[in-house]
Amino acid sequence: MRRYNRIVKALLPTSARVTRAAGLALLATVALGVAAASGATPTAPTAPTGATGATGATGATGPTGATGATGPGGQTAPHGGGSPASLPVTPVLAPGAPPVTLTSYAQQVARWATTTLPGEAIRSAPSTRARTVARLHLLTSDGLPEVYQLLELYTDTHGTQWVKIAVPMRPNGVTGWVPEDDLGPFHIVHALIRVNLALKQITLYHDGKVVFRASVGIGKPSTPTPTGDFWVREKFPVDPPVPLYGPYAIGTSDYSNVETDWPGGGVVGIHGTDEPYFVPGDPSHGCIRLRNNEITRLYPLVQIGTPIEIF
């Protein structure tokens, strides 16, 4: 009940017109979005639609259980050992014990969560006295639950469990610490997307096995696709249709280093195209384009929270 009241209190100040009931409805929406994104069976009413697409499409339908990613998203990993794959989804550490790794691109395992307390501080170190580097937010610019990648877990000497998270914002690569209580349930993904810019190729791995590979269009020299480690924040059908983006879009945590006035502030998306003759090639403003038949194949295979290597 204490956490329930804390969550509702955090939601109420976000708008002068938000009521207690509206705060509960917002929580239900977020919980449903998380369940749908991980492929779980929703326990709340049908997910809301009408979110704006990260690539500029308006009215895109939010992710549903039917389009939730296949694979092990959200399942509990076996206990024992110290590697990310062998830890439980939400480990509990002894106070003062060394931090443990929650996400490893090399091992193709990642953990992620949404937030239950928008506006809470993300700090430079696991301490309430550390400086604030950013603040948690509930939704993406498209109105879907924001996804934070979980990097490390640490319990301080007072017994507070802290999580180091990767923050989806410009500049790319921002990280910080939040109390575990500020996040929702932990989810786990055993997958990896690799985008090879030199080969103009995208590859999806599940449990270490290649399950998808295709040619892509990438950013042109003046608006290159930024390299680094990122993750899947959202996915949705492009509805109503926008031919430029094809039938489906996958939103990433990657932000363009050049373009800032795109919808969503320059988020790099993985989506279809109405110019298939430029794939493979470098025609885009930074997004990763696939032929429409290829994005249609890829879309149902991709899980929310999947790590992405662009190199």
Beta-strand ranges (E) seen in 96-227 are 100-101, 110-113, 121-123, 132-135, 148-155, 161-166, 175-179, 187-189, 191-196, 201-206, 209-215, 217-219
What count of Cα atoms within 13 Å lies in the side-chain half-sphere of residue 21? 0
Catalytic residue, from 187, 190, 206, 287: name it: 287
Q: Is 287 among the catalytic positions? A: yes
Residue 123 pairs in a beta bridge with 132, 177
Is 285:223 a contact under the CB 8 Å cutoff? Answer: yes
User: d(Cα 110, Cα 166) in Å, to the nearest integer?
Assistant: 11
Q: Which helix (H) or strand (E) holds 288?
A: strand 288-289
User: d(Cα 82, Cα 301) in Å, to the nearest integer?
Assistant: 28
Please give the angle made by the CA atoms of 260, 288 and 69, to the nearest 5 degrees: 110
Is 215:280 a contact under the CB 8 Å cutoff? Answer: yes
- What backbone torsions phi and psi does residue 274 show, to the nearest 5 degrees? -100, 10
User: d(Cα 1, Cα 8) in Å, to the nearest integer?
Assistant: 11
Catalytic residue, from 187, 190, 206, 271: name it: 271
Q: Is 271 among the catalytic positions? A: yes
Token output for 223: 């608006």
User: d(Cα 22, Cα 36) in Å, to the nearest integer?
Assistant: 21
Residues serving a catalytic function are: 271, 287
